[in-house]
Amino acid sequence: MDSTTQTSSHWYVLYTKPRAEKKLAKQLLQDGIEAYCPTRVEVKQWSDRKKKIETPILPSMILVNIPDQDRPLVFDRPQAVRYLYWLGKPAKVSSKEVESLRSMAEDSQFESQELQSLRPGEKLDMTALGFEQIEGTVKFVNAKECWIILEHIGYVVKFKKSQLEL
């Protein structure tokens, strides 16, 4: 291996303990490790009030940009569980996909998308849903929610109509 390969970093999917995504991402950032926990704002309703809460888009997962040889460093934090593997190798996420998640989380462009127009099995150019150069497959859709498979990481992202209208 040459030295440029050893020092190049990639985005990896890191499993976290339940409900520890934002906390772990913050701690890794403090440790000097680039970490990203994509979130969306969700309205939660209790019997006496409604509150907007920032909810992770990828439950129990965060994205970390780290050189290959430094991947074990994330396990210095007890909230880190393991890396996601895809086809026998650590799942790598392209920078374009990470930027698309960032732009989707910051700029909810889902409002104009009619859920009823989507069909299970349909391949989607996710650009229409706020992503850039990402392909997904519709897994399930009804009038209230849509599940889309992000094939590069083998994960299903679920969107509820109420979340898309915020």
Helix (H, G, I), strand (E, B) or coil at 154: coil
Q: Where are the domains of the chain?
A: 1-93, 95-166
- CATH number given to 1-93: 3.30.70.940
pLDDT at 12: 95
- Return the biggest CA–CA distance within the chain: 61
Q: Which residue has the higher pLDDT, 27 or 125?
A: 27
pLDDT at 60: 92
pLDDT at 13: 93
